[in-house]
Structure 1
Amino acid sequence: MTSATDATPSIASPRSPRRPAARRSNFELYSWLFMRLSGLLLVVLVLGHLTIMLFLDDGVQRINFAFVAGRWASPFWQFWDLTMLWLAGLHGANGLRTVIDDYARKDGTRFWLKMLLAASMVLIIGLGTFVLFTFDPNIGS
């Protein structure tokens, strides 16, 4: 028979002290959510754009400088095209960021690819926004 002193042995404490759980941001969650919502909105914007440009406005043969000047004279169409530009740029960059994370093996390579991606995204979206806001329909006169 075992006495009270021969009770089950206790497990020794681990060698390293218990650390609090690492705090993680919700960036990936918000990134995932942005991809889904921007994708849905882009489908609506792009299909609306194609429907108007190809079917309701007599097709691509009508598109020239005067057509663009008339279209961008309206703040509605400027906002529509600006929204498409920003969402497409951010949506594509976010997707490519995920691809870089998945396939770049070295931390340094991953860092520089993301820097190149960020710089190109800022350049393209910045230039597109600049053109939309500074477009002059009277450039020839």
Structure 2
Amino acid sequence: MYGVSTKVSTGFDETIDRVTEALKSEGFGVLSDIDVSATLKSKLGIEQRPYRILGACNPDFAHKAISAEPDIGVLLPCNFVVREDDDGDVHVLFMNPLAVLDLVENPKVPGLAEYVREKLDRVMAAASA
């Protein structure tokens, strides 16, 4: 399973705020915030339900991962997706670092992936509380 997802009971904007704050409490900063729906509207004239990708990074984890495997940057940062479906339900998703970092053939990386997964699970729990 490459992704982890949940449906939340909060609105889209509130969910963005909750995810951002939960990431911060786990030592992550949001390096990028891609508003996919706004980009599709401005570039292609396509209307889409709200959809944002938050590119999060934990500097400590990034340093350890890059030190263990210099090319691992192609798999960073941790992306969180907050999207609204046609029924108005809001979903939060993140990439499962255990699945993706399993691609790296370096014995130091799985332990880092487990550490990050625990943090991301806590972010998900806070977002859906």
Determine if the TM-score, normalized by the shorter chain, exceeds 0.5. Answer: no
* TM-score normalised by the chain length of structure 1: 0.26
* TM-score normalised by the chain length of structure 2: 0.28
Which structure exhibits the higher relative contact order, with contacts defined as CA atoms closer than 8 Å and separated by 6 or more residues?
A: 2
Structure index of larger Rg: 1
Instruction: Write 1 or 2 for the structure with the bigger share of helix.
Output: 1
